[in-house]
Structure 1
Amino acid sequence: MQSSLFPAETQILWDDHRGAITYHPGCIPLDLAERWFVALRDSITWADERRRMYDRDVDVPRLVARFALDDPNLPEIIASAADAVSRTTGAMFNSVGLNFYRDGRDSVAPHNDKLHDLVVDAPIAILSLGAVRRMTIRTKTTPRTILHLDLAPGSLFVMSYATQLHFDHGIPKVTTPTGARISLAFRQRQVTT
């Protein structure tokens, strides 16, 4: 018997003093993930951005959108996704950043999330919809450890706060034909008054 390409059980990818990284392949059922992907792709007002890198402004190689989860105009799908992610992680979130990877040319360079505006010890949870894309996770110090993880539609990738100090993560460009993907990155941002 052939095993499933995307097993349903949670996978612990890393868990030590540098933090924890887990992967939940079946956070959202595949048919629901496909419906959410199509609805978000077609209804979100996606933005092109430019970012300062290495002393020059460059195009961000993907489309983006952001929402506060208490926004009265929050799309119902995002509210439902936030509920599912909170149930899976046991954590609460107050913001979501969406990334639309239109094809294999869209990417995000290896990076860590900036912690200055995040609630200390709150996790970062990334829900994947659409095509499978590879996430690369690597330690910042030697000896270098590199993990490659194919993020399935409906899957949830969770990083503890501490991992941002010790790991980079990214979605590399690919030259093989690939479909579009949307990620929803849930965070607990500090509320300033």
Structure 2
Amino acid sequence: MHAMTQFSLFNEGPLVLLDDASGRIVYEENVIDGATADRWFRQLSDSGIWSQKRRVMYERELDVPRLTAHFGFRDESWPDPLAEAMDHVSRHTGETFDSIGLNFYRDEHDSVAMHNDRLADLVEGRPIALLSLGTTRRMLIRSKATPRRRFDLDLNPGSLLLMDWQSQHHYDHGIPKQTQPVGPRISVAFRTRRRSE
């Protein structure tokens, strides 16, 4: 049996979803003001950074149900406003990051399956920060083992979800498809990746 927690759209201040031996996950609204979040969304959605990946599923090659982009630390090809966003999120969290991964959910049909970040690619102990732009979308966060815990969280534009490294061992997260029409959303994920030897 799952213990499910669903959170309101109207939270005041940081919301600590999880803070125990299995990790720490904190959600905070209005980290980016509305006008700035709208500007960043327009700049990114109109840019030419997006690619459509394909993957093999059930012996068929299919389009990944979202568009993606990735940039390493201070990549010369960074479009506006990624440097601005990186600086803002770093100041807000007190953390430094060296890569940005982006997902563009164009409508209700786009999604990402339940997963955890690949810890082998990340510097141990460093958090992952997810900045949301565009339309509000629901994220599911589920524990991998007992006691079964589930959080359903609406990610609003301008909000930041901070997941520590340890939480990726114990929790999966995903953005499900929606049954009702929904507008586009961009997720901007800030990480610290391992440097190749």
1:112 aligns to what?
116
CA contact (8 A) 1:113 1:164 kept: yes
Equivalent in 97, 100, 107 of residue 96 of structure 1: 100
2:19 aligns to what?
15
- Rounded to whole Å, the distance in 2 between the matches of 1:84 and 1:24 is 14
- Rounded to whole Å, the distance in 2 between the matches of 1:142 and 1:52 is 31
Within-5 A mapping of 1:16-165 = 16-53=20-57, 57-165=61-169
1:190 aligns to what?
194
Matched, 1:181 2:182: no
Q: TM-score, normalised by structure 1?
A: 0.93
Instruction: Name the count of aligned residue pairs.
Output: 190
- Rounded to whole Å, the distance in 2 between the matches of 1:192 and 1:135 is 32
Q: TM-score, normalised by structure 2?
A: 0.91
2:174 aligns to what?
170
Give the letter for the 2:66 counterpart.
Answer: R
Percent identical among aligned pairs is: 54
- Rounded to whole Å, the distance in 1 between the matches of 2:80 and 2:50 is 17
Give CA deviations for 1:16-62 in whole Å, capped at 9, x if unaligned.
00100000111100111011101100013210001245665432100
CA contact (8 A) 2:44 2:80 kept: no
Unaligned runs of 5+ residues in structure 2 are 1-7
Give the letter for the 1:73 counterpart.
Answer: S
Give the Å deviation of 1:156: 0.4
Unaligned runs of 5+ residues in structure 1 are none
Give the letter for the 1:18 counterpart.
Answer: S
CA 89–52 in structure 1, closer or farther in 2 if over 3 Å, else same? farther
Give SS of 1:116's match: helix
- Rounded to whole Å, the distance in 1 between the matches of 2:164 and 2:35 is 28
